[in-house]
A and B are shown apart, each in its own frame.
Chain A
Amino acid sequence: MTSQGKLIRNLAFACIGMFAFAFALVPLYDVFCDITGLNGKPSLEQAKVSETIDTSRIVDVGFITHIQNKAPFKVSADQAVISVQPGAMSKVVFKAKNISSENRMMQAVPSISPGLAAKYMHKIECFCFNQQALAAGEEADLALMFYIDTALPIEIEELTLSYTVFDITQSGQMGSSQGASK
C-alpha cells in the first residue's frame, strides 16, 4: 500500500475507533463514577458483612423516596433519619403500596448525596436489587439492610439515600423507556 493509502486507512480507523470510544465512554464513566463518587450512584451488588465497627463517631443517614411523577406507588421509609455507627448493620423498612387498580412492576433507583459517600454505603439486602411486583392495591414491607464503611471520610457527618421509584410495568424490564409524546 502506498504511504498515502496507509495514511488514509489509519485516519479512517481512527474515526471508527473514536466512534467506538464514544460507546466505550459509557462503561468507563461507570468505572470512573465508582472510583470518584461522581454521580452518587451506589453499588447494586450485594456487599459482605462488615467486620469492624467504628464506635467513635455517629453518622446521620436520611432516607427519602421520590416517586417519579407518573408512578402509582406510595413508598416511604419508617424512619426519616437514623443515626448509625460506621460498620454497624442497620435495617430500615420501606412501606410500599400500589395505589392503582392494576398489577404493577416497580423499580427503585438509589442515589446518594454527597456523591462521595456512595462508595461507602454497603447494602446487604435491598429492594432496589430487583424489580418488585405489586398487585393492584397490594401493600408490602421492603427491607434495606446496610452499613456505612468505617473508611467513610471523617468530614461526612450526614448523608442522604434517595430512592427514585419508577413504574416499569410497560417496559417489562429494566432498560426501556417510552417513545415520543404523541
Chain B
Amino acid sequence: MGVVRFTLWLILLIPQLSFANSSLNMRVGVTDISENVYQLHMIIFMICCVIGIIVFGLMFWAIFHHRKSKGVKPAQFHESTKIEILWTAIPFVILIGMAVPATKALIAMEDTSKADLTIKVTGSQWKWHYEYLTYQGKKGDVDFYSIMSTSQDQITNKEGKGEHYLLEVDKPLVIPTDKKVRFLITSDDVIHSWWVPDFAVKKDANPGFINEAWARVNTPGTYRGQCAELCGKDHGFMPVVVVAKKPTEFDAWLIESQKEKQNEAQADQALLSQTLSKEELMTLGQQVYMSSCAACHQPTGLGIPGVFPALKSSPIALGDVNAHIDMVLHGTPGTAMQAFAKQLTLKQLAAIVTYERNAWDNNMGDVVQPSQIKARIGGDE
C-alpha cells in the first residue's frame, strides 16, 4: 500500500518538475540571479514535498489501518520526551539546510560593482516613466512614458484579444544585454512595484524615496511584467515591457532615440507657427483622450461620481479656456489628476483641450492651438 501511494505521489509531482517556464511554474528567467532564485525555489519545494509525503503518508497509514471499524483498540501512549525533542531538532536542522542556499542567493543579489547603465523608473497612476540617466559615464538624455497599448475595445470584449493582451506597451524599456543595468525606482503618487519575472526583479516604487535594483540580462528578447502593488483603479493595466538588445544594437537605438527627441523638440517649435484645423485636433484629441484621460473620466466624459469628476458640462470644460489648459498642464495636487505638461506633446495637449471643450455636447466651439499651450507652460527653452 505504502509503495503504491508513494508512486502515486511521484506521478503527481514529476510533471511539476519539468514545467519550468510554462504557465505552471516560476520562470527560470534570463539573468544569473533569476536562475539562482529558480533553483532555490525548486530546492525548497522539493524539501516541502518530501516532508509532506512522510507526514501525510504516516497520517494516511493511520487512517487506513488504525480504524475503530477494524476493531483496533487504542494505544495508551500520549507523550515521549525523546520523540518530541527529535521532531523539534530535525526540522531545525532542515531549516539550516534551507537557510544556507537562501543566504548565498541573497548575498549574490548584492552586486557591488558599478553599473554600466542607470535608468530611473518612475511609477505613476497608471504608467511607467523611464529616464536614461547615465550610460557608460555619459548622460543618457532619453526619457519617455510607457503606457499600456491594449485597446479599450479588447478589454471590454468588443474586439478579439491580441497575443500579448494587457502585457504590451507603446514604448518598451530598451536595455543592453551583458551589461549591468541599475534601476533607480521611485513614484509620483502612490506605491507601485516594478516587476519583471524574467529578471527576478521586484522593487517597490515609494513616493519621495528611491529604491535600487539591478539586472544583467544574458539573452536578447522581450520580457514582460506588471505592476505588483495595488495602486488604485487601473492597477491591473500598467504592464512593464523590457526589450533586451545586444550592446551594439542598443547603442544604435540610444543614438536614434536621442535624435528623435531633438526632432520632436524641433517639430514642437515648428508647430507654434501653425494653425491646426478643428477636425484634426478633434480626431487626435479623441485618440489621446482615450489613452490618457478615459481611464478616470471615462470615454463618455461622465467620470465616476464621487471618485473622478465628470467633464461633460463641467465648470472647467465650460469655463475659462486658460483655467482648463492649466488644469491639464499642472493637475490638481493631492488627487489622481496628473500634470500632463511633461507627458504629452504640445499638439496632443492642444488636441485634448479642444476635444474636451467640444465633445459630449460641451460644444464650446473653442479651438486651442499649440502656441496657446506653449504660452501657458511658460517661456523657458
Chain A contact residues, CB within 8 Å of chain B: 39-41, 60, 62, 64, 66, 68-70, 72, 74, 80-81, 97, 99-101, 109, 111-114, 137, 155-158, 160, 162, 164, 166-167, 170, 177-179, 181-182
Chain A binder among B5-13, B70-78, B107-115, B148-156: B107-115
Q: List 10 A-B contacts (CB under 8 A).
A: A64-B133, A66-B120, A81-B137, A99-B378, A111-B208, A155-B110, A156-B112, A157-B112, A157-B113, A167-B333
Known: A70-B339, A72-B330, A177-B334. A164 touches B208 (CB 8 A): yes
Give A72 to B115 CA distance when docked, in angstroms: 32
Contacts of B236 in A (CB 8 A): none
Give the shortest distance, in Å, between A140 (CB) and chain B (any CB): 14
Contacts of B379 in A (CB 8 A): 137
Inter-chain contact B210/A160, CB cutoff 8 Å: yes
Give A108 to B359 CA distance when docked, in angstroms: 40
Give A182 to B337 CA distance when docked, in angstroms: 11
Per-position binary interface string of chain B over residues 206-232, scored 1 when its CB falls under 8 Å from any chain A CB and 0 otherwise: 011111100000000000000000000
Inter-chain contact B133/A70, CB cutoff 8 Å: no
Give A181 to B338 CA distance when docked, in angstroms: 12
Inter-chain contact B114/A162, CB cutoff 8 Å: no
Inter-chain contact A70/B212, CB cutoff 8 Å: no
Give A136 to B309 CA distance when docked, in angstroms: 30
Q: Does B189 count as interface, using CB distance less than 8 angstroms?
A: yes
Inter-chain contact A111/B209, CB cutoff 8 Å: yes
Residue of A nearest to B338 (CB): A69
Contacts of B41 in A (CB 8 A): none
Give A41 to B208 CA distance when docked, in angstroms: 10
Give the shortest distance, in Å, between A164 (CB) and chain B (any CB): 5
Give A113 to B210 CA distance when docked, in angstroms: 6
Inter-chain contact B133/A181, CB cutoff 8 Å: no
Contacts of B309 in A (CB 8 A): 182
Given A64-B210, A69-B189, A177-B334; 19 other pairs, CB 8 A cutoff = A60-B114, A68-B207, A70-B338, A70-B339, A97-B380, A100-B330, A100-B378, A113-B184, A113-B211, A113-B212, A155-B110, A155-B112, A156-B112, A160-B210, A164-B208, A167-B333, A178-B334, A178-B335, A181-B335
Q: Does B332 count as interface, using CB distance less than 8 angstroms?
A: yes
The number of residue pairs between A and B whose CB atoms lie closer than 8 Å in the complex comes to: 94
Give the shortest distance, in Å, between A163 (CB) and chain B (any CB): 10
Residue of B nearest to A155 (CB): B112
Give A80 to B307 CA distance when docked, in angstroms: 40
Known: A64-B184, A167-B333. A99 touches B210 (CB 8 A): no
Inter-chain contact B334/A164, CB cutoff 8 Å: no
Which of B114, B134, B137, B209 is in CB contact (< 8 Å) with A40?
Answer: B209
Per-position binary interface string of chain B over residues 242-271, scored 1 when its CB falls under 8 Å from any chain A CB and 0 otherwise: 000000000000000000000000000000
Which of B115, B186, B338, B339 is in CB contact (< 8 Å) with A66?
Answer: B186
Which of B133, B207, B335, B336 is in CB contact (< 8 Å) with A164?
Answer: B207
Q: Does B299 count as interface, using CB distance less than 8 angstroms?
A: no
Inter-chain contact A70/B184, CB cutoff 8 Å: no
Tally B residues with Cβ within 8 Å of A: 40
Contacts of A157 in B (CB 8 A): 112-114
Give the shortest distance, in Å, between B380 (CB) and chain A (any CB): 6
Which of A66, A69, A100 counts the most B-chain CB atoms under 10 A from its CB?
A69
Give A75 to B148 CA distance when docked, in angstroms: 29
Interface of chain A: mostly helix, strand, loop or mixed = loop
Known: A66-B122, A97-B380, A100-B330. A112 touches B210 (CB 8 A): yes
B107-156 with Cβ < 8 A to chain A: 110, 112-115, 118, 120, 122, 124, 133-134, 137, 139
Residue of A nearest to B124 (CB): A69
Which of B209, B338, B378 is in CB contact (< 8 Å) with A101?
Answer: B378
Give the shortest distance, in Å, between B115 (CB) and chain A (any CB): 7
Give A176 to B134 CA distance when docked, in angstroms: 35
Contacts of A41 in B (CB 8 A): 209
The 8 A-B pairs at the shortest CB distance, nearest first, are namely: A178-B334, A181-B335, A162-B210, A155-B112, A113-B212, A69-B188, A99-B378, A111-B210
Contacts of A100 in B (CB 8 A): 330, 378
Per-position binary interface string of chain B over residues 180-206, scored 1 when its CB falls under 8 Å from any chain A CB and 0 otherwise: 000010101100000000000000000
Residue of B nearest to A39 (CB): B209
Inter-chain contact A62/B133, CB cutoff 8 Å: yes
Contacts of A80 in B (CB 8 A): 133-134, 139
Give the shortest distance, in Å, between B366 (CB) and chain A (any CB): 21
Give A52 to B120 CA distance when docked, in angstroms: 33
Inter-chain contact A158/B139, CB cutoff 8 Å: no
Q: Does B331 count as interface, using CB distance less than 8 angstroms?
A: yes
Give A181 to B337 CA distance when docked, in angstroms: 9
Give A60 to B332 CA distance when docked, in angstroms: 37
Q: Does B377 count as interface, using CB distance less than 8 angstroms?
A: yes
Known: A41-B209, A112-B210, A162-B186. A69 touches B114 (CB 8 A): no
Inter-chain contact A160/B333, CB cutoff 8 Å: no
Give A129 to B114 CA distance when docked, in angstroms: 30
Give the shortest distance, in Å, between B162 (CB) and chain A (any CB): 30
